[in-house]
């Protein structure tokens, strides 16, 4: 269930606007300094308003971290959904799904890095909700894999679908988490093509 972050302000549009400003400001600071070394006063300044105004929209710095993680997951999931080409059939659908996911992670790699580094600081209830967003993204990839298996273009048992989907997600994360090394040697296009090639070799191997 989505966590409710109390606000003293009652105007929904103003709450949305101010919290979007907070998220953008906080992401910049979390990238630079990390969650624990960033103060709420710094977040308020980076967001363009006073510390007093900030506390009209949230109760604590943990609330801001929750809003950051929630916003990032929402954007990654929404952009992935937008780029999944439902018109394609066969193996092209799976290839395009993987490429779309890797592109989204590439475009938001700083935000994704912050999310995974700092989410552990969330309270248990908020963390459970945020991690559910990743489950939803995994299920989107699972659906594509199942459709390809149903068409007979890949052969995976139902129990293997989740593992293949998780492998794809981890490969996307690796582009960000190991970027200090991987991005020296591969373009995103080359990395994507090589990972797809290995993925297809793995699922085709099950035909034997």
pLDDT of residue 207: 41
Q: Are 178 and 127 in contact (CB under 8 A)?
A: no
The pTM of the full predicted model, rounded to 2 decimals, is 0.81
Ordered by start, the domain boundaries in the chain are: 61-204
- Report the pLDDT averaged over residues 141-150: 89
Q: Is 78 helix (H, G, I), strand (E, B) or coil?
A: helix
Q: Say yes or no to pLDDT of 106 above 90.
A: yes
Q: What is the CA radius of gyration of the chain?
A: 19
- Evaluate if residue 128 carries a pLDDT over 60: yes
Average pLDDT value for residue range 182-201: 94
Q: Name, in order, each residue with C-beta under 8 angstroms of 120's C-beta and a sequence gap of 6 or more.
A: 127
Going by pLDDT thresholds of 50, 70 and 90, the confidence category of residue 86 is low
Q: Which helix (H) or strand (E) holds 19?
A: helix 12-33
Helix (H) or strand (E) holding 151: helix 124-151
Residue 206 has what pLDDT?
45
Report the pLDDT averaged over residues 156-169: 89
Query: What is the chain's length?
Result: 208
Q: What topology does CATH give the domain 61-204?
A: Tetracycline Repressor; domain 2 (1.10.357)
Per-residue pLDDT band for 71 (boundaries 50, 70, 90) equals confident
Of the pLDDT bands very low, low, confident and very high (cuts 50, 70, 90), residue 204 is: low
What average pLDDT is seen over the chain?
87
Question: In angstroms, rounded to a whole number, what is the distance separating the alpha carbons of residues 152 and 164?
Answer: 16
Quote the DSSP letter at residue 4: P
Decide which of 159 and 105 is more confident: 105
The pLDDT score that the predictor gives to residue 119 is 85
Whether the pLDDT of residue 133 is over 70: the answer is yes
- pLDDT of 2: 67
Helix-strand-coil percent breakdown of the chain, rounded to 5?
Answer: 75, 0, 25
114 contacts: CB under 8 Å, gap ≥ 6: 27, 30, 31, 68, 72
DSSP state of 60: S
Are 47 and 21 within 8 A, CB to CB? yes
Would the CA dihedral through 94, 167, 187, 83 be positive or negative? positive
Model confidence at 205: pLDDT above 60: no
- Higher pLDDT among residues 204 and 144, named by residue: 144
Instruction: Say which residue, 205 or 138, is predicted with more confidence.
Output: 138
């Amino acid at each position: 269930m989505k966590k409710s972050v109390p606000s003293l302000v009652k105007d929904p549009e103003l709450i949305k606007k101010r919290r979007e400003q907070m998220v953008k400001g906080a992401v910049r600071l979390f990238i630079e300094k990390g969650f624990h070394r960033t103060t709420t006063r710094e977040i308020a300044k980076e967001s363009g308003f006073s510390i007093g105004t900030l506390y009209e929209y949230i109760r604590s710095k943990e609330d801001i971290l929750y809003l950051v993680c929630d916003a990032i997951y929402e954007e990654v999931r929404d952009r992935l959904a937008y780029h999944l080409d439902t018109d394609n059939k066969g193996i092209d659908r799976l290839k395009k799904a993987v490429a779309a996911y890797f592109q989204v992670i590439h475009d938001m790699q700083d935000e994704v890095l912050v999310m995974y580094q700092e989410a552990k600081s969330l309270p248990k209830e908020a963390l459970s909700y945020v991690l559910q967003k990743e489950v939803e993204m995994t299920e989107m990839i699972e659906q594509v894999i199942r459709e390809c298996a149903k068409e007979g273009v890949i052969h995976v048992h139902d129990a293997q679908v989740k593992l293949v989907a998780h492998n794809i997600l981890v490969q996307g994360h690796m582009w960000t988490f190991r970027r200090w090394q991987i991005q020296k040697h591969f373009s995103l296009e080359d990395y994507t093509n090589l990972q797809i090639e290995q993925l297809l070799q793995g699922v085709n191997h099950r035909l034997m």
